[in-house]
Structure 1
Amino acid sequence: MTLDPHDLAHEFPALADKIHSLKTSNAHFHKLAERYEEINKETVQIEEGVRVADGAYLETLKKERLLLKDQIAAMLAG
């Protein structure tokens, strides 16, 4: 099964330069982006069957990823 990529480069392709800039200049943004990528990696591993987890845990990860994405999007828009 092919999964849609959810890494920041795919979520915000036109803003790659701004993402890089904020990662290097804004500690809070850097922390949000790191956490987003960690959660995204874990989510993909579970969905691909590399890691085992129950459905409730996977849904929790997806909700946290979405919350972080919203926070990142708000900072990118600002």
Structure 2
Amino acid sequence: MLHEYRDVITHMKQNDAANAHFLKIFDRHNDLDNQITKAENGDVPMTDLELEKLKKEKLLLKDEAYAMIIAYKKEHSL
């Protein structure tokens, strides 16, 4: 997720306990990514509607994480 901000994400993970919410979002996004991949590969049965719901949730989390990364980057002059 947001690989172009890998350095900022690493900084956030290492340097600020206040980023617990970001870490929760990050972990949930990765969990959803794994679930979606398994469903798309046919490893886990899932309806199209269920898959679409997971993808929408993943996108919302990505948008939220992106906003947090940009704010953190600006606040810390990264």
Task: Place the TM-score, normalised by the shorter chain, in its bin.
Answer: 0.7 to 0.9
User: 8 Å contact 1:43–1:62 — kept in the other structure?
Assistant: yes
**Which residue number corresponds to residue 75 of structure 1?**
68
Of Structure 1 and Structure 2, which has the larger fraction of its residues in helix? 2
2:49 is the alignment partner of 1:56: yes
C-alpha separation in 2, matches of 1:23 and 1:56 = 34
**More relative contact order in 1 or in 2 (CA 8 Å, sep 6+)?**
2
- Provide TM-score, normalisation by structure 1: 0.80
The structure with more radius of gyration: 2
User: 4+ residue runs of structure 1 moved beyond 6 angstroms?
Assistant: none
| Contiguous gaps of at least 5 residues in structure 1 | 1-7
> What count of residue pairs does the alignment treat as equivalent?
68
- Provide TM-score, normalisation by structure 2: 0.80
Output the aligned Cα RMSD.
1.0
